[in-house]
Structure 1
Amino acid sequence: MVDEYCWWFLCFVPLKANAPKFFGFAEFLAALALMVLAWTIAEFRYQFRVRTAPLPLRHITFAMVAAVGLLTLLTDLWRAEQWLVPEGDFLTPEIWQALLGATFLFTFLAWAWFAFIRPPVYGKRNAERYVRELYRVILKGSPSELAIVADEFAHSAKSVIRYATEQTQFAEGQQDLRPRVAAYADDLLLLIADRKFCRAVIESSSGTALAIFQELAETKKYRVQIGTFAKNVVGEAFLNKDSFLFHETAGYESGLIGYVKPLSKAMFGNYQMVEAIGTLLDAKPSNGNAAQWEAYCRLVLVTFRDYVNGGMGGHSFVLHRAKGYIQAAVSDLYKIDGMPENAWDDDIHNRLHVVVKFIRDAVDILDKKGVPPYVRLRIRKNAGPPHETFYDHFASMIFEVVFRASCVKSPQDLCWGIQYVAVWGELFEFGSLNSGAGKIVKFKARRLIYDEIIRMGKFPNFKGARVLSLCLNLMGLACDKGRDSRDTMALHKAVLSWTKKHFVWLHAYNSRVGEACLINGISYEAENRRLVRTYPAEGLRRQASTIYLDLDPAPEESVDSPES
């Protein structure tokens, strides 16, 4: 007979020591050991997900596990001592054990849900935890953890961009009215700009960059705090030969990725986004090699194509800066002057080919769109934007490349290879740039070359002298209709006419500038007042030949001063 104790309508009976037991303290300890083992050996990816869950999962898990453990221990003690429990079927010992077991199981399933089934994304309920955890990982700087977090950030890219604001600067005294989730999103975009994080994105999580820039294009929120991240992630891509910059080249080299170019188009295929962000094309390959500059040129062409297809509306600051960066890639071409035959394999020479190819490809893009009616063949000097267009910019670029090539004067084969084969022939001859856009660009480039030469009449200088030396070297001291192309015939005549009229005066005014105009077998005979070029007997030429250019005498009153 069971003892029964009643107070009013509530009765208690002793808990049976031999009552069924399926979730006691021993079972709890075994389950807890497995749970701890799973957490210990779990990959950092799943630990990061748990830490950034919308709920404070670690605190909840600790509280629930502690409560279940304490209650199972008390339950076993209650059973061993056969203490009183309420009589009835509402809360039997079996139901009580089931509730404790279900609570423990629910705690584990909640952990598994966020760790494996549905990874958490940035939102209102986990904004602070997400930023704090990402900050901790970046500050720690572990490459393996950064790679995982960089990959995990792809899940939150959409929500971070949507919460981020385009106004982060506030006037003095102005209250910051941004919601907390928006303020944290702005901080998060600045946080991921860390170079170590960007390096991890390029090395193992290119999909994260793809997700970020696709969302920017979709929402058109181009002025969020993404500029530093954009610059650093592209900069890290240049330093990694396995990055998308070197694999999204062409279909015959990279297969489908080469045709689709997912990252290149997502990041650089939207001109308005590139212009608004402002830093994407500023990540130039400083001191880069030819392969890096070739990759940079491909990116610029992707943006330039969208700019042209969009009607070339307004002056483009980012493309103008990019043009300057590419142009400067051959600024050290003078270093191969006088080098031996192996200069052909020098990286400087390879960079020259990259820059020349960029000009040709860019002009081809202009031609496919057609010449706009507002493009002028000649504009006022220093007119600048909006009168100047990319037709003028590429003409200026050609002029600068020609000038850099003029700095290479020896040995003779190298001089000819750089000045004619690599530059002049590719840009003015060999059937190059013969389209409508190409003819306009070449016309403007020839005008710039001639303007630089005639400027020596007012201000003798070595830059103009080098350009003149290149023209005399490549086109010769006499016009030849059979040799001169239609593109260069007029320039050739104008250069010879100016030289004939001014060279004697120029040499008398500053002999060093005058001598700088003469290279590759061209000499000045002052007593006969003429330029002489001797072609030695070599190759198929059986005898040496000489060509003369008779010069006009210098006006007496202009020998000591530049001509007006």
Structure 2
Amino acid sequence: MKGYANDLLLLIADKRLCRAIVESSPSTALAIFQAMADMNKHGIQVETFAKNIVNEALANKDSFLYHEAEGYESGLIGYHKPLSQAMFTHYQMVETIGTLLDPDIYGKREWDAEQWKAYCRVVLMTLRSYVKEGQGGHSFVLYRAKGYIENAASDLYTLNELTSIWDSDSSRRLDVVVEFVKDAVKILDEKGVHDQVRIRVREKHGHPRETFYDHIASMIFEVIFHASAVRSPQRGCWSIQHNSVWGELFNFNCLDGPAGKVVKFKVRRLLYDEITYMKRFPNFKGAKILGFCLNVMGLTIRQDDNDKDSRALQRAVLAWTRKNFVWLHGYNPRVAEACLVDGITFDSANRQLVRTSPAEGLRREPSYTYFELDPAPLDSEDDASV
């Protein structure tokens, strides 16, 4: 009998049947997942069925994943979310099945912002269960989901040289990813920071010491890296890098809860380590990260409260830039040029970086900010508590 039951589960996993269930009989899927939860039967051969149901639901914007949104969008069904609750709010079931949060490898390439928003919504439901149940171990399903989401806007480089980027699906997908990060940190905030969470995980310790705080920090780092690929025009670069990413996560007391502060510390460390690594191995990834930091934080240190979370990082980045940029330009001019977005230039004759704010709005003439550079870097190791 067990063999027949497994065969039946494999039979109903056919993509065509899953598509029909999503379109016409979502209650069938609800009955299956409710029975699994009630009977605590998670290890049955439902992996393919679960994956195909989710992917067909994401492909169909008239499916339960879109109707079971927030209450103010979907009414009563949005408050109760019956099928989403049955499928995604039991962490142990999601982890045991293993495929519920795995999008189709080819299908997700075509997802737009609305589809990514629906996917993020169910991942957050599982994350909330993971945190609520006090799961301290590594979550394979959530770690993979984190990787999918952080790459949802990996094509931001296509916005370069475009005069209007605000209506692009790439920028909307970026907004979805940033909102996911903020919601995930809120979930961690509700639980509170556990005493065993390490502020800094040394590289030699690696994966076993990492927590979801580290995963969210690395996710933010990757999003920043994707945003750093947008280099021009100046207004578009500022909109993506500062307004959509940095301003949403670091300025104006964002992510200011206990979990948020831990995550931001880890992000600052990741950024600074990537930049200082260029002293040992000049590379374009570090150059783009440096360019992002110089752009969003500026060449002068301000004292207002809006920038308090990034002031230590800004000081460290500017100090490194002052000591090493001239050397970097001499060692590899192309890498050094990759550190400068539109609006920031290197004046080699006067040994300085120049930021130009164009004449626009009420500003009748361009304004300039100058940042003097040292002729050569010091040989001592760079370090800072950022």
Q: Provide the TM-score with structure 1 as the length reference.
A: 0.65
Query: Alignment partner for residue 279 of structure 2, among 446, 452, 457?
Result: 457
Shift of 1:414: 0.9
Matched-pair identity in %: 61
CA distance in 1, matches of 2:86, 2:186: 23
C-alpha distance in 1 between matches for 2:176 and 2:204? 28
1:305 aligns with 2:128: yes
**Equivalent residue number for residue 479 of structure 1:** 301
SS in 1 for 2:56: helix
Would you say the 8 A contact 1:334–1:404 is kept in 2?
Answer: yes
Please state if 1:185 is matched with 2:5.
yes
Alpha-carbon distance between aligned partners in 2 of 1:234 and 1:519, rounded to the nearest angstrom: 40
| Counterpart contact for 2:225–2:288, Cα < 8 Å | yes
Task: For 2:100, give the aligned amino acid.
Answer: L
Alpha-carbon distance in 2 for matches of 1:400, 1:283: 20
Q: How many residues align?
A: 379
Q: What is the root-mean-square deviation of aligned Cα atoms in Å?
A: 1.8
Aligned counterpart, 1:539: 361
Structure 2 match to 1:156: none
- Hey, what does 2:175 align to over in structure 1? 353
For residue 166 of structure 2, what is the amino acid of its counterpart? W
Structure 2 counterpart of 1:309, which letter? K
Q: Which of 528, 539, 548 is the aligned partner of 2:350?
A: 528
For residue 157 of structure 1, what is the aligned residue in structure 2? Answer: none
Which residue does 1:436 correspond to in 2? 258
1:208 aligns with 2:208: no
- Equivalent of 1:258, from 78, 85, 89? 78
In 1, Cα distance between the equivalents of 2:357 and 2:15? Answer: 57
Structure 2 equivalent of residue 4 of structure 1 = none
CA displacement at 1:277 relative to structure 2? 0.4
Contact 2:323 2:377 in 1 (8 A): no
Amino acid in the other structure paired with 1:205: S
Deviation at 1:291, TM superposition (A): 0.6
Q: Quote the offset at 1:543 in angstroms.
A: 4.0
Q: Show the 5 A alignment for 1:244-393.
A: 244-283=64-103, 286-287=108-109, 288-341=111-164, 343-381=165-203, 383-393=205-215
Q: Do structure 1's residue 511 and structure 2's residue 333 form an aligned pair?
A: yes
User: What is the rounded CA distance, in whole Å, between the counterparts of 2:25 and 2:204 in structure 1?
Assistant: 46
- Map Cα deviations across residues 193-248 of structure 1 (whole Å, 9 max, x no partner): 00111011101110110010111111111111100000011111111111111110
Tell me how far apart the structure 2 counterparts of residues 382 and 337 of structure 1 sit (CA, whole Å).
38
* More relative contact order, 1 or 2 (CA 8 Å, 6+ apart): 2
1:429-461 Cα distance to aligned partner (Å, 9 max, x none): 133101111111111111111111111001101
The Cα shift of 1:263 comes to: 0.6
Superposed displacement of residue 483, structure 1: 7.2
Larger Rg: 1
Seen in structure 2, the aligned counterparts of structure 1 residues 305 and 500 have a Cα distance that, compared at 3 Å, is same
> What is residue 42 of structure 2 aligned with on the other side?
222
1:17 is aligned to none
Given that 1:269 and 1:306 are in contact with CA atoms closer than 8 Å, whether structure 2 keeps it comes out as yes
5+ unaligned residues in a row in structure 2: which ranges?
none
TM-score for the superposition, normalised by structure 2? 0.95
Matching residue within 305, 318, 324 for 1:502: 324
2:58 counterpart of 1:235:
no
CA contact (8 A) 2:344 2:353 kept: yes
Alignment of 1:31-180 (within 5 A): none
One-letter amino acid of the counterpart of residue 495, structure 1: V
Task: State the Cα deviation string for residues 463-500 of structure 1 (Å, max 9, x = none).
Answer: 11111111111111111213761101000100000000
Whichever residue aligns with residue 320 of structure 2, its letter is W
